[in-house]
Chain A
Amino acid sequence: MTGPRSPLTIADIDQSKLDPVQVGSPEMLARIDEIAAEWATRDPFYIQVDGLPMVVVGKYEQCREVLLDSETYRCELPKQEGYEKFDKFLGVRSLAQMDGEDHRRIRRLMTPAFSPKALVALESEAEKVVDGLLDAIEARGGQYCDGVREFGSQLLDGILLTSMLRLDEERKRIFHEMHRVIPLTAAVRPGEPFPDECVTAFAAARDTINALMEERGKNPGDDLISTLVLARDEGDRLSADELFDVVFTICVAALSGTARTMGRTMYGLFQRPKVVRRMYEQPSIVSQAVAEAQRMYRQGYFMFPRMAVRATAIGGTPIPAGMIVRVSLHAASYDPTMFPDPTTFDIDRSPVDWMSYGLGEHNCLGIRLARLVLRVAFTNFVRRFPRVRLADPNFRPAYYGALGELRMDTLPLSLS
């Protein structure tokens, strides 16, 4: 796309609408749920990140307006100095950063791999992976476990990398390393190169994906990469470069997004013994409970960035052409006009998750996969350990990650 000649500066905005919040600072992340609830009641306001002004949109209806207007708010950002931190995949064209017909075409080719029919076979695989992890926790004594290290992050390793992609241990290690370095891109300042360890990890992932595509192209199996290599639509198919970008995107989205979702959802649910009890006694409400936990404890406070390609305004806040727009669905999920008494955890809300996986043409392609994994994971976890709770009721996670992410390293749980 053609972007502005140079990024906007602070001189381009009404500074009375500039919030001094240090986005991504430990102080901000420690209060992120309170902050999201506050943003839910404010019209759009500006923030500044490394000198670049952006606008934050948090009210439910205003978020919806941005997500449904893909003509004004585009996902492909300029590849030029000043925008380095948005290129967190080091040049890979992810589906979340494409627009228009390009986006529709790639998405159309990927869709069958994530359809309900395609996911039927995965349910039993997911059960096996989840039960295997729970067996291992039980074998270690079953009194305590780390929900993130021993379950949440292992889960996606098992389901995505082992069951869906059929990767061996060395290749899994390469993908984990790529996942580990992504937050480092958030620290890249305008004009600076990416850190060496990012470049090395991404190059290794690129070599691995290229090798996998070649192998699976010659000998297709029942794995996701083979399905994508063979994906066709009326004679159309993914090119080698597109296939690389797609596999990369799936790995990052699933490893990163779902691992974060697992951590935050466990934190939301396992601090509430009465909710856990209800999930144990009535497994049919597990999906509702998970959805409510995702509403209050979203895995990130910003969606992928968008850019306004024409001057506009939302809720009286001017949005100049070229401005980065940060939609906060974390904030929107606390909007009291949509969710009465939004800071109360209520699994009987209806509906609870209308935008939890996005909205519009960029809504999450893997939504059904994510829901399946979450349902199986929490149903089986609570069935195995019905007394699961935070080991320390006052535990507060120390979040970190790329701009907008809420990654957790640890979640100590008591199981008995």
Chain B
Amino acid sequence: MIKILATSRDGNEVKVPAEPTGSLMQVLRDIPELNVRADCGGNAACATCHVFIRSDWTTVVGPPLSDDEVDMLDGLLSTTAQSRLACQVQLEPALDGMAVTVAPEE
């Protein structure tokens, strides 16, 4: 198990235990107070799982890799250098302790 430190839109921090498999979205979606909708189910097609990766973790997580993710982030108003779609972040042991903040709903 690894732990993800997730901050909700209203600033509440939640420590989320997770298996180091699957996507970050699948873990965040199951925490009601985080209110991560993930409407498209993980296809990088809705941007409702947009998160900001805390800056000390961006290098570990890496930048968006697919054109779909880049295009979706380009269309948002709140995108920053820390932005990722949680459905496109694959969990792995190296992400133990990663800190993310759920982006505003757009």
The residues of A with any CB-CB pair to B shorter than 8 Å are: 67-68, 104, 107-108, 111-112, 115-118, 120, 233-234, 350-351, 354, 357-361, 363, 367-368
Contact = CB atoms under 8 A, between A and B. Distances in A.
Contacts, number: 57
Interface in B13-29: none
Contact of A358 (B39, B71, B72, B77): B39
B80 interface: no
A117 B45 CA distance: 15
Contacts of A112: 71, 74-75
B73 to A, nearest CB: 10
A157 to B, nearest CB: 26
A108 B68 CA distance: 7
Given A107-B45, A111-B45, A354 B75 contact: no
A75 to B, nearest CB: 14
B43 interface: yes
A138 to B, nearest CB: 33
7 contacts: A111-B72, A112-B75, A115-B76, A234-B67, A359-B39, A361-B43, A363-B39
A368 B106 contact: yes
A120 B76 CA distance: 10
A361 B41 CA distance: 7
Interface of B: 32, 35, 37, 39-41, 43, 45-46, 67-68, 71-72, 74-77, 106
Nearest to B78: A116
A112 B47 CA distance: 12
A336 B67 CA distance: 40
A359 B45 contact: no
Contacts of A120: 77
Contacts of B72: 111, 115
Q: Nearest 3 pairs between A and B by C-beta?
A: A115-B75, A116-B106, A360-B41
A360 B76 contact: no
B39 A116 contact: no
A329 B51 CA distance: 28
Nearest to B33: A350
A361 B39 CA distance: 8
Contact of A361 (B37, B40, B67, B75): B40
B45 A233 contact: no
B75 A118 contact: yes
A357 B40 CA distance: 10
Contacts of A116: 75-77, 106
A121 to B, nearest CB: 12
Nearest to A367: B39
A354 B37 contact: yes
